[in-house]
Copies of this chain bind each other. A is one copy, B any other.
Amino acid sequence: MMRRMARAATTSDVFNAIAEPQRREILILLRTGERPVTELAQELGMTQPGASKHLRVLREVGLVRVREAGKQRLYGLDARGLRPVHEWTGGFERFWNESFDRLDAYVQDLKQARQEGSN
């Protein structure tokens, strides 16, 4: 039945897949070329099962591809799935590039009120 879901399945949503810092690191690393799981785990300081699990998530949302190479499984980047995210955030570009009526007033307000650095 699955009436309620605590969160959109990480496995079906690129936004969710890249919400995990380690998974983002994997993607970055894979920009330099494909890697077998163990090597990847080693370079990122994670356990092999840990790497495998993250890779699975990435695979399921289509951000990586696997290629069998004998004993190994070479994981490679497939960044096409990141494009929608890029475009989605791009839809807000003008809101951070231009200074807006209300927005601008806010910003000035805040800059004065807080020092903005705290976090």
Please tell me if the beta carbons of A86 and B89 are within 8 angstroms of each other in the complex. yes
| Contact size range, A | 35 or more
Q: Does A31 contact B (CB under 8 A)?
A: yes
Closest to A60 in B: B119
CB-defined contacts of A33 to chain B, threshold 8 Å: 102
So how many copies of this chain end up in the complex? Answer: 2
Please tell me if the beta carbons of B27 and A8 are within 8 angstroms of each other in the complex. no
Q: Which of B16, B62, B90 contacts A86 (CB 8 A)?
A: B90
Mark A72-100 against chain B: 1 for CB-CB distance below 8 A, else 0. Answer: 00001111101101101111110110000
Please tell me if the beta carbons of A93 and B86 are within 8 angstroms of each other in the complex. yes
Q: Does A19 contact B (CB under 8 A)?
A: yes
User: Using a CB–CB distance below 8 Å, which chain A residues touch chain B?
Assistant: 7-8, 13, 15-16, 18-21, 24, 27-28, 31, 33-34, 62, 65, 67, 76-80, 82-83, 85-86, 88-93, 95-96, 102-103, 106-107, 109-110, 119
8 contacts between A and B (CB under 8 A): A15-B19, A24-B88, A31-B91, A79-B93, A82-B92, A86-B92, A86-B93, A89-B89
